Amino acid sequence: MLPVLLIAVLSTTVIVEAAQQTLAVLIVTKPSTSILAAPQAKAATVTKVKLGEFLNAIEKQQNWYKVQLPNQKVGWIEAKSVREFKEDLAQQTYLDIAKYYNNELSFLHTIEYIDFLSRAIAETTAKDVLAELELTKFLAIGNAASQIELDKANRPPYKGFLKQYEKILVYSEPGGIWLLKSDVLWQLHKKYATLGTGEKIAWAAAENPLPGECEGDLLCNLHYFRQTQGRYLALYPKGPKASGALQNLRETLREGLSVNLQDYKLDNKEEKAETLKLLNELIDIVSKLPFENKDVIGMLRKLADSL
């Protein structure tokens, strides 16, 4: 099934075929890319096209394509900002473009990625590709949300974005930012756990920040670890991130236990039982790791004895 936007481009090709011969169909691979009046970087801008848009190439000169726009205007675009689109390679093309995404992009450029990924997901059937596209889309949504300042939340385009994704976002009061709900990523992991991408999704979920702030409280930090990197360790004790996660737990314990152990004495029976359950879970998880872990287990037991 042809992408909807590509169908529109091909229809335009038929209309102008007598006047311009189509060399190739191109897909834009960079956000907010300029179409210029001439094949020169300093030429005037005719318009801008968004990531994932399709264009008709009618001529090529070295590192430039002359393209036919949907409104039948023409202009030039740098070859490094597009790639030729082949229908039989569409899903791989979408995956390749998704790999260009990074969290340093601006809010508006991230929105272009989210829109592109939404279209690509709707046209993709391969599960391994879908897993990568869906993960990238959720990470992009989280990145875009984290860029919204509270005093701008009721202004466009931020207001519309927050409304569109309100079910998968949460506001963190201490940090003053919106975050992607981690459950979204853990559910995605459950969906694709049997694929190689499953481990990658689990680590993304483990690294996704939770709302709230522990402010140096060891017990709070251990609860936080259990819900994030501890969950990853339980799933992937031999995973590529397991050693680093264990080291993070080790450093958290060393820093927290550097104070008087009496500070962790718990009088509330329910709170004490919950904390002991947490510590036993962490001991069980750490004991199954194929790394030196006796010191970490020792610190966890020392903490449990002090409660």
| Blockwise average pLDDT, block size 10, the chain, 307 residues | 54 46 92 96 95 94 91 92 95 96 95 98 97 98 96 96 98 93 98 97 98 89 97 98 97 88 77 92 97 95 90
Question: In this predicted structure, what is the pLDDT of residue 174?
Answer: 86
HSE, side-chain direction, 13 A CA sphere, residue 241: 21
User: What backbone phi and psi angles, to 5 degrees, belong to 206?
Assistant: -65, -30
Q: What is the DSSP letter of 169?
A: E
One domain for residues 107 and 194:
yes
Q: What is the pTM of this model?
A: 0.89
Angle at 10 between CA 7 and CA 16, to 5 degrees: 145
One domain for residues 168 and 109:
yes
One domain for residues 138 and 30:
no
Residue 241 sits in which domain range?
A: 227-307
Tell me whether residue 12 is in a domain.
yes
One domain for residues 127 and 76:
no
Question: In this predicted structure, what is the pLDDT of residue 15?
Answer: 41
HSE, side-chain direction, 13 A CA sphere, residue 30: 11
Question: In this predicted structure, what is the pLDDT of residue 242?
Answer: 98
Tell me whether residue 246 is in a domain.
yes
Tell me whether residue 125 is in a domain.
yes
User: What backbone phi and psi angles, to 5 degrees, belong to 160?
Assistant: -65, -40
Number of domains in the chain: 3
Q: 74-78 and 82-84 as β-strands: parallel, antiparallel, unpaired?
A: unpaired
- Listed residues 26, 57, 85: the one ending a domain: 85
One domain for residues 122 and 54:
no
Cis before 3 (ω within 30): no
Question: In this predicted structure, what is the pLDDT of residue 18?
Answer: 40
Tell me whether residue 221 is in a domain.
no
One domain for residues 25 and 120:
no
One domain for residues 252 and 300:
yes
Question: In this predicted structure, what is the pLDDT of residue 12?
Answer: 46
Angle at 112 between CA 106 and CA 116, to 5 degrees: 145
One domain for residues 203 and 233:
no
CB atoms within 10 A of CB 11: 10
Give the alpha-carbon dihedral of 229, 234, 239, 245, to 10 degrees. 30
Tell me whether residue 219 is in a domain.
no
HSE, side-chain direction, 13 A CA sphere, residue 34: 11
Rg (CA), the chain: 25
- Listed residues 61, 85, 109: the one ending a domain: 85
One domain for residues 25 and 78:
yes
Question: In this predicted structure, what is the pLDDT of residue 13?
Answer: 46
